[in-house]
Structure 1
Amino acid sequence: MASQASTIAIAGAGSIGCYVGGCLALAGRKVVFLGRGRLVGAMRQGGLRVSDLDGRDRRIEAQAISATDDPPTALYEADIILVTVKSGATGEMAKLIAAHGRPDAVVVSLQNGVDNADRLRAGLPGRRVLTGMVMFNVVQSPDELPFRVHRASQGEVMIDDGVDGLAGLLDADGLAVEVRADMKAVQWSKLLMNLNNALVALSDLPLARQLADRRWRAILAGQIDEALAAMSSAGVAPARITGLPPSLLPKVLRLPDWLFGLLARRMLAIDAEARSSMWDDLKRGRPTEIDELQGAVIGLGKQTGIPTPINERVTALVRQAETEKRGPPGLGPDEVSAIPGKV
């Protein structure tokens, strides 16, 4: 059972981890951040600033923050471990938790993709691992002091049911938490929208500007069409997590700009600062999560015999940008949509 006295470890103090952990710390929870030396150093030096598009702008002073790059220090006494590392680091984090975390600690995956909680379970046999999903966008300003994380879109955190008091412990000002009994379906539904992460990265456009352009939305719609076809063939039913049923997303995305703007106000309630984590990865020359997003669609398509040419094209372009290490390439929609007539 989780209680207000529980110690919460943020296993991966990046954009999402610092926002979630920052909101929890501001609400009086006992939080320890486990991250890379650069971000840990920034928090130790100047503290943490947590803001959002609803107007909150709060600060935690450096002396009030517990932040470390030493896994044993962060994990040893944690009652709750929130895993917020990128998908490529999930296996490594599972090993660290197995080595240094308490056997009775509750582990919650707050990661993109559909397989990370399962990977954690495989690496942590016999331990309680819950699936979670962060439904909002967070951007960071790493060169500012204090280090700033900013929630740039609406949304909540969704988690598995099963641990008494956990939702109440994690629910805080600026961080709404919802318990769901269908988290696998939620993961697949979130993946549909996350297919846009790559388009933001390839276009080098802010998310709001990119979504306001029907040509880019048409490419996203094409990717979602392929994903829905593969999911249907595999018997996967995505959950309804926005105002629209997932099956209607491609039709709405293809609407004229003016009509889309009227019907998709919640989708467009995005701060002008918002980009995508994949854009940030290309900007910093880091590997992206393309294999966990478009790659999941391509893999499911191969299993079910459903063609996925648009997702394959987008994946190839992201991998090319990863290899070139020149940052987001700034492509136009015509350069990305190399499947004439499909989008």
Structure 2
Amino acid sequence: MDQKIVIAGAGSIGCFVGGLLTFGGRNVTLLARPAIAEEIAAHGLTLTSLEGWSERIPPDTLDVETDPAAALADAALILVTVKSGATAEMAALIAAHAPAGAAIVILQNGLGNAGTLRSALPVHPVFAGMVSFNIVHQGSGRFHRGTSGPLVIEAGAPPLAVPHLEIVQHEDMTAVLAGKLVYNLNNALNALSGLTLREQLGDRRWRRILAAAQEEALAVFAAEGIVPWSLGKVPVQRFPRILLLPDWLFRLVSRRGVKIDATARSSMWEDLERGRRTEIEELQGAVIARAERLGLGAPVNRAIAVAVKSAEAAGKGSPRLEPTALLAAVS
């Protein structure tokens, strides 16, 4: 039998990638919370994408476990797809239940997950990874990919082929994850706006805030000697200038970049809508912490983080802020 692949944390990314692996004939177990397990048992998985394809995976072809011991037993490859705040907890479960030597591939946001997992799992080879696209959970087992981009995995990781997805191996995952963080600074702004990504990025006022947040992050990485990786032909270092273009010119230039469908929203928007903890500490929080260590300022990222934490505490979903509420931090 094909070696067992475990999706350690079957949320939006985990269900999408794990479902496609199952569709491709791989031996996959989804380790999921009870609510997701019940949803999959009732509906199976329907995976769709902005490219127009749709795949249906019936429930009787999916192996879903809520018990970590049962899920991780005999695993050969473990794809970690939990939110970054749950990384240490998942590491403990893998240490307790997975066979020594099972390879770990990280498909999470954030800069520090590889270090956390390597420290906790010395008998497992750990490979950093990065998901460059966005997945939204639409309910009833439906998960939609709303933006383009590849999976990027650290060179030397076990070969992995996922139907419908481009997979790229990269030698410098520090640069890759830094580049992804610069892109991901928009997650919070999209969540605060309540708009689709197209609508929000189509408004130069929101783009001004994003440009300022990215400038702060780029200054931090430059001080650390890190050159962030760029997704696509446009260098990430040029993004702030492009974001400040007039709307009509931005629309023209952005056609060369990541493709975004009309319904796409950020994962942080989904977290606020579902009353879940966001990854603001792993995104804006990472910029703030690094800036403080270097003696640099990050007032824009700090203002964004405060607004997201306030929305988390309110528990009412996206606050649907107007950009004027944050523009003062840019001045």
Give the alignment partner of residue 171 of structure 1, picking from 116, 136, 161: 161
Give the aligned partner of residue 149 of structure 1.
143
Aligned partner of residue 128 in structure 2, secondary structure: strand
Worse-superposed segment, 102-111 or 234-243: 234-243
Counterpart residue type for residue 16 of structure 1? I
Q: Deviations over 1:77-124 (max 9, x none)?
A: 110000000011000000000000111100011000111111111111
Cα offset for 1:172?
2.5
**Matched ranges for 1:1-343 at <5 A:** 5-142=2-139, 144=140, 147-163=141-157, 166-167=158-159, 170-267=160-257, 269-339=259-329, 341=331
Cα offset for 1:266?
4.3
Worse-superposed segment, 264-273 or 133-142: 264-273
Counterparts of 1:99 and 1:263, CA distance in 2? 50
Counterparts of 2:161 and 2:123, CA distance in 1? 27
Aligned partner of residue 262 in structure 1, secondary structure: helix
Cα offset for 1:7?
1.1
Relative to structure 1, the CA distance from residue 340 to residue 138 in structure 2 (aligned partners, 3 Å threshold; closer, same or farther) is closer
Cα offset for 1:241?
2.3
Aligned partner of residue 124 in structure 2, secondary structure: coil
Conserved 8 A contact 2:17-2:162: no
Counterparts of 2:175 and 2:152, CA distance in 1? 12
Q: Deviations over 1:199-230 (max 9, x none)?
A: 01100111111111111111100000011111
Counterparts of 2:162 and 2:304, CA distance in 1? 37
Conserved 8 A contact 1:130-1:160: yes
Conserved 8 A contact 1:313-1:338: no
Relative to structure 1, the CA distance from residue 60 to residue 151 in structure 2 (aligned partners, 3 Å threshold; closer, same or farther) is same
Counterpart residue type for residue 15 of structure 1? S
Q: CA RMSD in A?
A: 1.2
Counterparts of 2:30 and 2:18, CA distance in 1? 7
Relative to structure 1, the CA distance from residue 95 to residue 340 in structure 2 (aligned partners, 3 Å threshold; closer, same or farther) is closer
Conserved 8 A contact 1:234-1:300: no
Conserved 8 A contact 1:261-1:268: no
The runs of at least 4 aligned residues of structure 1 exceeding 4 Å deviation read: none
Cα offset for 1:173?
2.2
Counterparts of 1:331 and 1:202, CA distance in 2? 6
Cα offset for 1:56?
0.9
Q: Percent of aligned positions with the same letter in both sequences?
A: 47
Counterparts of 2:301 and 2:232, CA distance in 1? 23
Aligned partner of residue 171 in structure 1, secondary structure: coil
TM-score (norm 2): 0.97
Counterpart residue type for residue 102 of structure 1? P
Counterparts of 2:116 and 2:147, CA distance in 1? 28
Counterpart residue type for residue 161 of structure 1? A
**Structure 2: any 5+ residue segments left out of the alignment?**
none
Cα offset for 1:237?
1.6
**Structure 1: any 5+ residue segments left out of the alignment?**
none
Conserved 8 A contact 1:201-1:276: yes
Q: Deviations over 1:167-193 (max 9, x none)?
A: 3xx222212110000111000000001
Q: Deviations over 1:28-69 (max 9, x none)?
A: 111110011011111112211111111111101111110011
Counterparts of 1:309 and 1:279, CA distance in 2? 22
Q: Deviations over 1:134-171 (max 9, x none)?
A: 010101112x2xx11111111110001113xx33xx22
Cα offset for 1:338?
2.5
Counterpart residue type for residue 125 of structure 2? R
Counterpart residue type for residue 57 of structure 2? I
Aligned partner of residue 195 in structure 1, secondary structure: helix
Relative to structure 1, the CA distance from residue 174 to residue 222 in structure 2 (aligned partners, 3 Å threshold; closer, same or farther) is same
